[in-house]
Amino acid sequence: MPQIVTYTTKVPHAVAAQIQQIVQDNVTDLSMLGVPPSNASYPLYQHTLSTEILMYVGRVGQFEEEAPVRLVAAFADEAQKYVIGFVLYLPVIQDRKACGLTYMAVANGHRRKGIATGMLKAVAEECPHIELTCFINKVPVYESLGFHVIGYRDTQIVLNNRTDSSSGEMAAIWTEPIFKSPQAMQIQGLLMQKHGKKVMVDAERKLNRLIMELKRKAENFVCDRAEEIVRYRRPCATVDQVSTDRFELCGVDGVNCHASNEREVWIQAAHLIDKRSEPELRVAHEVKCV
């Protein structure tokens, strides 16, 4: 029977090390960039993403007032020796009943066993209002757990178990120094030696094309579900035809949009409502690479 543990104080080194391995095994799913293992730069993103997540893990229980971080870990048994999943989430500073779920993964061989559901329940015990992002293929999973699509951010879909994001700040780690660290530069150098400049430049181009495609798909996904999103978030919303070629949004205070067709009005409304309720991300200070 898996054991779910929430850490609010220092995380044991053995737990952190196993989380690092899970991250390195699941970079494609965890990274906002969706970097595939076939990309020559994959080892670099294994390093940078696992470093970022370890930095979050190291901040659990630290900076509680200005930059709270929480970790939920799933263990294979009561002995709590083997980590088989984890969730990192950031409570909203001004509203501790709300949070942003930053990273969640379940180890290979332990999926489809209710572990993710159990970890989300543990998160909800402290922060019942949860927002997260995921790739399109994961949306049905989170919808089955009570989340609703409310918009998109870059390459991913935004889901929330409330109609709106919490108004407040979450303290996110500034990741740019990780990519400029000596360790990352060394990995880049080794990859350049192994594959050559041409391959590495091509890898960057392929990744950029993938990112653009993921962004396009995320935007189109939300556009296709715009009416559903707006009606969920603002149940009184309607789109009325006011003239031959003019449709207007009605029933949503402070959101004024119109277009020559009904679908475009719903798309505008979904975007504007999402912008109005977007939480702020405050960069955590004093970040050091490990």
> In the predicted model, is pLDDT for residue 211 greater than 60?
yes
The pLDDT value given to residue 239 = 97
How far from the centroid of its chain's Cα atoms is residue 5's Cα? 21
Ordered alpha helix ranges (H), 133-261: 139-143, 176-179, 182-195, 197-224, 226-233
The pLDDT value given to residue 286 = 45
All domains of the chain in start order, with CATH: 3-176+278-284 (3.40.630.30), 221-274 (no CATH)
Helical packing angle, 226-233 and 262-276, nearest 10°: 50
Q: What is the mean pLDDT of residues 222-236?
A: 97
How sure is the predictor about 284, in pLDDT bands with cuts at 50, 70 and 90?
Answer: low
Q: What is the mean pLDDT of residues 38-64?
A: 96
Separation in Å, CA 208 to CA 25, 94, 211:
22, 36, 5
Helical packing angle, 197-224 and 262-276, nearest 10°: 110
> In the predicted model, is pLDDT for residue 60 greater than 80?
yes
Strand partners, 61: none
- Do β-strands 95-106 and 129-134 pair in parallel, antiparallel, or remain unpaired? parallel
The pLDDT value given to residue 290 = 34
pTM higher than the cut 0.85: yes
Q: Distance between terminal CA atoms of the chain?
A: 34
Counting residues of the chain whose pLDDT is more than 90, the rounded percentage is: 83
How sure is the predictor about 112, in pLDDT bands with cuts at 50, 70 and 90?
Answer: confident
239-277 per-position pLDDT tens digit: 999 999 999 999 999 899 999 999 999 999 999 998 867
How sure is the predictor about 282, in pLDDT bands with cuts at 50, 70 and 90?
Answer: confident
C-beta separation of 244 from 229 below 8 A: no
Q: How many Cα atoms occupy the beta-carbon half-sphere of 172 within 13 Å? A: 14
167-197 per-position pLDDT tens digit: 889 989 988 999 999 999 999 999 999 999 9
* E strand or H helix that includes residue 278: none
128-166 per-position pLDDT tens digit: 999 999 999 999 999 999 999 999 999 999 999 999 998
3-state secondary structure of 92: strand
The pLDDT value given to residue 197 = 96
- Do β-strands 148-153 and 280-284 pair in parallel, antiparallel, or remain unpaired? unpaired
The pLDDT value given to residue 287 = 40
